[in-house]
Amino acid sequence: MNTFKSIMSWVIPILVGLLVAELVKIFLFAPVKVDGSSMYPNLQSNEYVAVLKQAKIKRDSVVVFDAYGVDHQNAAITKDTKYVKRVIGLPGDRVEYRNNGDLYVNGKFQSQSYITKSQQKNGTLQLASSLDPASKVTLGTGKAFTVPKGQYFMLGDNRHESNDSRYYGFVPEDKITGVVKVAVWDGKRDVINSFATN
């Protein structure tokens, strides 16, 4: 009997700890590994970031979302495929990408200081010939579009390489896993999202 009590005295705390860890992962935050160059140079392939599942999604937030059922052009998508992208347009936003690379959301200029001028203009406006453009996303001066209710318009920071909303369209809110966060001491906190600015 003493042996059983002794074993249970360390088994129960371990089980409780594992249960708490799993609940935190499911409901609060989880580590995610960046795979690919679509967010370069702000996020590197194989870099780990934290995803806060309860954080508010804002314009310019970097988020993780479930690509299955969103990106129909990529044959390699599985039910486990996640994409990391930056939110450019929130539900109801009117987005215009002008020919010079300037971004206007609801008539207000957005700086996009997290990417180069070349990425703002050429990277965004010159679409890949290997992918079909999204039918409801129009780019260029005077070609504004409205993000539908309950959906988001997202782009990768490495616009030349990114497969994003320009090709698969808007991302439904229920596909978003959470907001990417980097630590306050990380030099990229101003271009991603800082834990300090939840």
Active-site residue numbers?
A: 38, 85
- Listed residue (198, 161, 158, 153) closest to 43, CA to CA: 158
Q: Do you find a cis peptide bond into 41, omega within 30 degrees of 0?
A: yes
Q: 180 near 49, Cβ under 8 Å?
A: yes
Alpha-carbon distance of 5 to 85, in angstroms, equals 51
The burial class, CB within 10 Å (0-12 / 13-18 / 19+), for 60 is: middle
